[in-house]
Amino acid sequence: MSAKSEFVGGQHIQKLENSLCDRLNVGFAVTCANGTDALQLSLRALGVGVGDIVLVPDVTFWATFEAVVNVGASPVTVDVDPVDGGVDLKAFIKAIDAYSPKAATIAHLYGWGSVHLNEIRQLCRDRGVMLLEDGAQCYGVEFEGKPIYKDAFISTTSFYPAKVLGAAGDGGAVFTNDAALADKVRQLGNHGRTQHYGYGSVGWNSRMDALQAAFLNLSLDYIEQRLASRHQSAEYYRRRLRGLPLRVMDVPAGYLENGYCNVCHLDAPHRATLEAALKAEGIGFGNIYPGAMSAQPGAEGYIRAAVSNGRAAEYCSTVLNLPLFPYMTTAELETVVAVVKKTLA
């Protein structure tokens, strides 16, 4: 038995946070219970609350939307750019002009980010809109030769087991280069505590447990090999699926992807046929994501507005994700490719 038992916090957490800062070239990393909490802690630390408007991608995971609602603010959804799956820049500008948001969230989907990331960051700085970058899917992504989190005002990640860097259970983190902002996030995630039994704000319990941190510290020893294998699989699909009636999304200019997932687009009839063929062969697939945020039944009563070019619904109806996981063999990849080619050729 160790001389000192630390079930929450302690040396494993400190080691993980230090490693994340070094690897991602950020000033501060604050771990928390999960990726959704990371978003909510960030919004709370930014002072977002009741009466505020926050821009949210119309194509993202529900947590990006619900985090805004859970802090009491009103989401305005922004249409998708089909080139990269991020927000459409023109719609984003239109939303800022029309609704004067206090903050905006963007989501770096699929293992890369928006082709307009520099413009979005600069626009938010110029217009006084605090930008939160949801990086749940982009650990290991580089933008213009640097970790994508490096130049973000504030960003988050998720350590859900299916992520590129996944925990044994769940976990998340917030990244920033602002010391005061990092301190506020840490305080809110520990009941608002400023000292033992002293509280400077109302927070909640979102501390990462030491087991998850220890697991992640071990995983980091192998993360480069895992990223390389994912990248190879993503490129294999692009190379082998050319010439078929589907579009395998390419990595936007300026990015090094992490191989989080494969992303294909094909019309609804072809998608349904291919899904049936994959199911018949016992091959899994995904749809990231099958429906826009503005169309979710749960959004009713909370969404302030949707700034749309009409693309989100069509985009969601055509997306299909083929299997992609660490250390896929050529035989496994070719099995998937053979079914796709037989079905669509």
DSSP states along 90-104: HHHHHHHHHH--SEE
Between CA 81 and CA 308 the distance in angstroms is 11
β-partners of residue 320 are 264
pTM of the model: 0.97
Annotated domain spans of the chain: 11-220, 223-344
pLDDT of 21 higher than 90: yes
Q: What is d(CA 137, CA 126) in angstroms, rounded to the nearest whole number?
A: 27
Output the pLDDT for position 15: 98
Pick the CATH number of 223-344 from 3.90.1520.10, 3.60.21.10, 1.10.760.10, 3.90.1150.10: 3.90.1150.10
Q: At 182, give phi and psi (nearest 5°).
A: -60, -40
Is 11-220 assigned to CATH 3.40.640.10? yes
Q: Rounded to whole angstroms, how far apart are CA atoms 195 and 105? A: 31
* pLDDT at residue 231 is higher than 70: yes
Q: What percentage of the chain exceeds 90 in pLDDT?
A: 97
Helix (H) or strand (E) holding 127: helix 117-127
CA 115 to CA 87: how far, in whole Å? 10
Given this model, what pLDDT does residue 1 score? 37
Spatial separation of the C-alpha atoms in residues 176 and 178, rounded to whole Å: 5
User: What integer is the mean pLDDT of 291-315?
Assistant: 97
Q: Give exposure, 283-320, as e/b (b: 16+ Cβ within 10 Å).
A: bebeebbebbbbeeeebeeebbebbbeebbbebbebbb
Mean pLDDT of the region 128-155:
98
Comparing CA positions, the residue from 190, 165, 180 lying closest to residue 8 is: 190
Rounded to an integer, what distance in angstroms lies between the CA atom of residue 168 and that of residue 162? 10
Position 4 scores a pLDDT of: 62
